[in-house]
């Protein structure tokens, strides 16, 4: 006689045990996944919050730097304006004796028998007109002016014969240029000292 053993309850019990083990493992995996998700979410939230704080700080610093750049630009414009003024003053100062030299040279270089009617200056160009007894004296004046250290480029514009005061004279117009001193005032000051 053979003994018959019923294994169904044992199999049923083992299957229940395996299901319980599966659900426990599933719960553990879900718990670990939830913990990892929560930790990752917290970490990313913290990193995002830190980055936003850094961005806000950088934006504040950028605003400060933009203000400083605007101030620097304004200062550069003021410096440029002051340098222009300084240059104008230096030019005026270096050329302040120009008129004195011009009149002095005209008086010194003017031959006898000539007199000037008008002297007109525009920048470095000077236009003079006057009367002379002979055309040769105009040539002498031009040579004299070319020999001057303050005047250059004497150029006769016109000479014509006119009757004035019952006399026959020659009226002339001439252009000359003033020799401008191009040496900076700093160098002049250094040479004086």
Query: Which of 74, 94, 114 lies at the terminal end of a domain, its last residue?
Result: 94
- 129 CB neighbour count, 10 Å cutoff: 15
Query: Which of 72, 94, 116 lies at the terminal end of a domain, its last residue?
Result: 94
Separation between Cα atoms, residue 178 and residue 164, nearest integer Å = 31
Specify whether 107 is located in the same domain as 89: no
Q: Does residue 147 lie in a domain region?
A: yes
Specify whether 51 is located in the same domain as 20: yes
pLDDT at 145: 75
Separation between Cα atoms, residue 193 and residue 183, nearest integer Å = 16
* Mean pLDDT by groups of 10 residues along the chain of 193 residues: 68 87 94 94 93 94 94 94 89 70 73 79 80 78 75 75 76 78 48 43
Query: Which of 94, 129, 155 lies at the terminal end of a domain, its last residue?
Result: 94
Separation between Cα atoms, residue 142 and residue 57, nearest integer Å = 76
Q: Does residue 82 lie in a domain region?
A: yes
- With a CB cutoff of 8 Å and minimum separation 6, the contacts of 106 are 116, 119, 128
Specify whether 110 is located in the same domain as 88: no
Domain count of the chain?
Answer: 2
Q: Please, are residues 167 and 173 in contact by the beta-carbon 8 Å criterion?
A: no
Q: Does residue 154 lie in a domain region?
A: yes
**Domain interval for residue 90:** 8-94
pLDDT at 30: 94
- Which residue do the tokens 């044992």 mark? 10
pLDDT at 5: 66
Specify whether 78 is located in the same domain as 28: yes
pLDDT at 95: 66
Structure confidence by residue, pLDDT tens digits, 77-128: 999 999 999 988 887 776 666 677 777 777 777 777 777 788 887 777 888 8
């Amino acid at each position: 006689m053979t003994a018959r053993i019923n294994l169904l309850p044992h199999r049923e019990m083992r299957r229940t045990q395996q299901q319980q083990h599966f659900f426990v493992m599933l719960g553990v995996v879900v718990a670990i996944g939830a913990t990892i998700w929560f930790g990752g979410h917290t970490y990313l939230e913290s990193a995002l919050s830190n980055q936003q704080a850094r961005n806000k700080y950088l934006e504040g610093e950028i605003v400060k730097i933009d203000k400083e750049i605007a101030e620097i630009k304004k200062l550069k414009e003021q410096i440029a304006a002051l340098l222009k003024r300084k240059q104008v003053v230096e030019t005026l100062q270096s050329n302040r004796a120009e008129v004195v030299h011009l009149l002095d040279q005209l008086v010194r270089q003017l031959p006898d028998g000539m007199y000037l009617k008008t002297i007109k200056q525009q920048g470095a160009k000077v236009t003079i007109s006057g009367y002379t007894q002979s055309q040769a004296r105009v040539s002498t004046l031009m040579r004299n002016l070319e020999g001057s250290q303050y005047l250059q480029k004497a150029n006769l514009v016109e000479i014509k014969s006119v009757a004035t005061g019952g006399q026959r004279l020659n009226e002339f117009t001439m252009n000359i240029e003033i020799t401008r001193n191009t040496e900076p005032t700093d160098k002049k000051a250094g040479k004086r000292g």
